[in-house]
Amino acid sequence: MKKWEMVPQIFTGEDCLSRLEQFENERVCLVCDPFLIGSENLQKVLVHLEKKNEVTTYSEIVPDPPIEIVAEGVARMRDHQPTVLVTVGGGSAIDTAKAMLFTMLVSGYDKVKRFVAIPTTSGTGSEVTSASVVTDNKEKIKYPVFDRRLIPDEALLDAQLVVSSPPTVTAYSGLDVLTHALEALVAKNRTTYTDALSEKAVRYVLTYLEACYNNGNNLNARKKMHEASCLAGLAFDAAGLGINHAIAHQVGGQFKVPHGLANAMLLPHVVNFNAKDPEARRTYAKIAVQMGLGNSSLSEQLLVTKLIKAITKLCKKVDCPMSLQEFGVERKVAMERAQIIAQNALKDSTYPFNPIAANESELISVYTKIV
């Protein structure tokens, strides 16, 4: 039995931040990226909160949020005793807020009445998912945490907040969206509903990511990518992910490769590997036809090849290094970590949803394609 539900309320449009006017006489914990402090974007949020509420800001956010940063945030929450949690920023800020909330919840804190996420990048889809990823820097491992209580009550999608996102962040986060969508399409818990969301997300990424990369002020393209990120987040939260993320989490933990870039490096090779599964191969072939990459008279394998070429072409157009060597990791070092990366990938919570139960040697084989 499979279940489909849409939990978060999603608000879009230039006036969606006005939803924050609903809060009066609340103790608001605002979690945001440090570079937002003093910015016009953050002011657009605060103007709706500060008049009628007590707001405390936690902005000590770093990429791939480590356990220590989360612990510091939890200490701040315990001091402040918030009734509302609002997070503004990229995936790291939202994941940090979720991890803080999770820690508070498991310790018995039940005063947070409303959780609102406002993404400023178009990538993780974290504003609508039950997932949070934290990093153990000592062990060099990323830990995804899934809990339905971490799904925000509301997601406010204002594309104007993404306009200032730099090209590199735009590229990596956009390819994270593509990975979410393509993994969800073949994941074990996929449904007709998640397929519809994934297919739309794939179309939007292939159509609009390059435009966002070349001209960050293209508001229409930004809006489409912001929506694609949300659609893909809804899809994978229900359908699951797979070995692309399972390996990428380890690559990020070991070598500090940005998450979206690690996914992008692996994606062509994971699609090729998963295409050994007949149902996955049919699904990839179908999406290739839908994207206009070939017609249905072609063989499924040829259509998969065309899909892989389209992914690789897009990655190159947005200037993504497609190997760890290109990123600056020595091949010898990368090869030495192959076994530990595969072993940890097997334990990753995204691994079980892959259409093929890849063993350790198969995971090593996929990983070494990007070395």
Question: What superfamily does domain 172-368 belong to in CATH?
Answer: Dehydroquinate synthase-like - alpha domain (1.20.1090.10)
- Bridge partners of 116, per DSSP, are 86, 154
Residues 6+ apart with CB under 8 A from 110: none
pLDDT in tens, the chain (371 residues): 777 677 789 999 889 999 999 999 999 999 999 999 999 999 999 999 999 999 999 999 998 899 999 999 999 999 999 999 999 999 999 999 999 999 999 999 999 999 999 999 999 999 999 999 998 988 888 888 889 999 999 999 999 999 999 999 999 999 999 999 999 999 999 999 999 999 999 999 999 999 999 999 999 999 999 999 999 999 999 999 999 999 999 999 999 999 999 999 999 999 999 999 999 999 999 999 999 999 999 999 999 999 999 999 999 999 999 999 999 999 999 999 999 999 999 999 999 999 999 999 999 999 999 99
∠ Cα 219 42 146 (to 5°): 85
Q: Which residues of 332-346 are buried (b: 16+ CB within 10 A; e: fewer)?
A: eebeebbeebbebbb
End-to-end CA distance of the chain: 40
- What are the domain boundaries of the chain? 9-161, 172-368
CATH number, domain 9-161: 3.40.50.1970
Both structure tokens of 14: 């230039």
Check: CB of residue 311 under 8 Å from CB of residue 178. Answer: yes
| pLDDT the model gives residue 142 | 85
Token pair, residue 283, equals: 């699904």
Distance CA 120, CA 169 (A): 11
